Amino acid sequence: MPAQGGRWGRFLEQRARQLQRQVQAKEERIVELETENAVLHLRLAQYQGMTGKGDSTATRLCSQCRERDPPQRSTAPATPQLRCQVQNLKQDMKALRASSLEVFRTCREHLQDGLSAAVEAVQRAQLCHEALLAWQSKAGHLERSLQEVSARYELEKQKRKMLHNCLVELNGNIRVHCRIRPLLPFDKEFDDPASQDSSVPAGVVHAVDDETVLVKCDRPAHPLINKTYNFERVYGPAESQQVVFGDVCPLLTSLLDGYNVCILAYGQTGCGKSYTMLGPRSKEARVPPWGPHRDLGILPRAARELFRLISENPSKSLKVDVSIVEVYNNEILDLLAKERRTAVSGPKHDVRTSKAAKREVSPPTRQPVHSAEDFIALAAGSLPLRARLATQVHACSSRSHLIITATLTAASPCGSPADQQSPGPPLEGRPAWGRASPGSPGAQRPAEQVHAKLQLVDLAGSECVGVSGVTGSALRETLFINRSLAALADVLGALSERRGHIPYRNSQLTHFLQDVLGGDAKLLVILCVSPCRTHVAETLRCLGFGAQVRQVQRRPSWRGQCGPPKTQVKQEPRSGCLC
């Protein structure tokens, strides 16, 4: 609206200048007409003078003729000629007088027309001036209304931000969703006649409703399993990627509001974690298809939604930097570094702890991206470097935890209050403005302020060694994967019990994710489970892990007390144990 008020003001000023130019042109025309009139008066006076001279000459000639003696015979022939000349002079005088009167009448008409045009122009100019004053008054009123509306808009935007955050917190700052993948051709139950019957639910894991999972399994020589688990959202095998992403969009709004967001996929190998986060794999290029596709994962959809939200609010001038690392065998490897240590990983980045117990991370490479296409292309170029291996459970099993971090930064004026904030743990419920420590993966560059961070985590799958059949170096990878997942479960268990010490340093994975696990970040854990009877043990461990994560948000905040209550939360089986 300020631009509209400015356009009206410029239009009125241009119209006033145009009218002034017209009035000035009319005045110049009047001056020209007055000059022509004066010239005509002078010519009329000259003609009148010439006529007077002719009259006086004729009179003088007549008087001279009367004074002379009676005409002689010698002068008689000259008298007719003189009379003809006199008649001609009189006719010329009449013609000159008639032409002079015509010129005078024409000049008077032109002068009257010019004067009337000038009066009309002056009247129009006065009307336009009055209209200009009225429009200026209206423009001022509109500008004041615009200022009031802008103030109300800012107030409503703050209220919307608070209400949206309250809504997200009502759903839980830490939320757990469960996704049941369908039976696939490589599953043993796929060819079971019971699975072909549409009236009989396939598999042993079922979505009772949008919030309840039922595990019902009756195996020979094993006790009957009939357990239900409740989560914030449960996706059945038939639900699409778009439905899953629909529950992620509110978190991206919180990201633009300044809150850190982490989306973490957890589950057994071959349960659809990478499919949920990245989308289906391409057989030719061995990377997920990033073009328009109904099966696109959370990463490409989140990239497009993020830049769409940024484009809708250009006043913040946010920039996006991306870093991609993998935690492989308890080592952090930078997948964007130019120098590659091996064919499948980048340089090692250590997580160290100083004497002051502050976390120090050698910052990975951060590359700026200016569009969703740049973001997706950068991720697609790094995924082939991720460690993978074929096992008996999955033909392309991820052997590392993939962490993609998008850091939103904004220009920070020197000496701003945000730059002078004292370090310390973030306060609950406050946005993540400038909270990244200088050594963290989201450390800001000079004259920039970290607005928020989005972390997309595709965890390696937990494995049972007896089922996967790995040996040698693959067995060592499995041990590190299971240990890191067990460390993640220990951290979340300590958080749910409000312990005084949280064992973040037991694993590089938990140490790297300490900000989102222990801070006020919005954490979404997506449990990916298999419906197969063969994997029911790992499925129960995965669902138990999700139930433990839910207790972190459902425990009361024991503010004003010296410590947590003495009652302990019942421990669920830890994920990642070896069978």
CA atoms in the 13 A half-sphere facing the CB of 397:
24
How much is the average pLDDT of 210-221?
84
| Structure-block tokens of residue 67 | 């004074």
To the nearest whole percent, how much of the chain has pLDDT over 70? 72
Q: Where are the alpha helices (DSSP H) in 257-386?
A: 273-278, 298-312, 372-382
DSSP 462: B
Quote the CA–CA distance of 467 and 301 in Å, as a whole number.
34
In sequence order, which residues have a C-beta less than 8 Å from that of residue 354 and are 6 or more positions away? Answer: 360
How much is the average pLDDT of 135-139?
91
| Structure-block tokens of residue 447 | 């004259």
Amino acid at 369: V
Buried b or exposed e, range 110-143, using 16+ CB within 10 angstroms: beeebeebbeebeeebeebeeebeebeeebeebb
Look at residue 369 and give its three-state secondary structure: strand
- Rounded (5°) CA angle 256-429-354: 95
How much is the average pLDDT of 547-552?
86
| Structure-block tokens of residue 533 | 């009877």
CA atoms in the 13 A half-sphere facing the CB of 49:
6
Look at residue 576 and give its three-state secondary structure: coil
Look at residue 449 and give its three-state secondary structure: strand
Strands (E), 192-330: 205-209, 212-217, 225-230, 233-235, 261-267, 319-328
DSSP 124: H
CA torsion sign for 480, 481, 486, 488 is positive
Which strand (E) or helix (H) includes residue 135? helix 78-171
Quote the CA–CA distance of 320 and 308 in Å, as a whole number.
13
- If you search the block for the tokens 């790094």, which residue do you land on? 382
498-512 pLDDT tens trace: 888 899 999 999 999
pLDDT above 90 (res 543)? yes
Which strand (E) or helix (H) includes residue 359? strand 359-361
Backbone angles phi, psi at 248, to 5 degrees: -90, -30
Q: How confident is the model at residue 573 (pLDDT cuts 50, 70, 90)?
A: very low
Residues in the chain: 579
To the nearest whole percent, how much of the chain has pLDDT over 90? 23
Query: In terms of pLDDT, which residue wins out, 187 or 432?
Result: 187
Q: What does the pLDDT read at residue 263? A: 94
* Average pLDDT in the chain: 76
Spatial contact of 57 and 113, defined as CB atoms under 8 Å apart: no
| Structure-block tokens of residue 488 | 């993640």
Quote the CA–CA distance of 504 and 517 in Å, as a whole number.
9
Q: Which of 339-343, 353-357, 418-422 has the highest mean pLDDT?
A: 339-343
Query: In terms of pLDDT, which residue wins out, 531 or 559?
Result: 531
Q: What does the pLDDT read at residue 525? A: 93
Quote the CA–CA distance of 531 and 180 in Å, as a whole number.
7
List the one residue out of 397, 157, 357, 116 whose CA is nearest residue 258.
157
pLDDT above 90 (res 265)? yes
Three-class DSSP labels, 21-68 = HHHHHHHHHHHHHHHHHHHHHHHHHHHHHHHHHHHHHHHHHHHHHHHC
Q: Which of 3-17, 42-56, 256-270 has the highest mean pLDDT?
A: 256-270
Buried b or exposed e, range 560-576, using 16+ CB within 10 angstroms: eeeebeeeeeeebebbb
Q: How confident is the model at residue 422 (pLDDT cuts 50, 70, 90)?
A: very low
Query: In terms of pLDDT, which residue wins out, 58 or 202?
Result: 58
285-339 pLDDT tens trace: 445 666 567 788 999 999 999 999 999 887 778 999 999 999 998 889 999 887 6
249-256 and 78-171 helices, crossing angle to 10° = 110
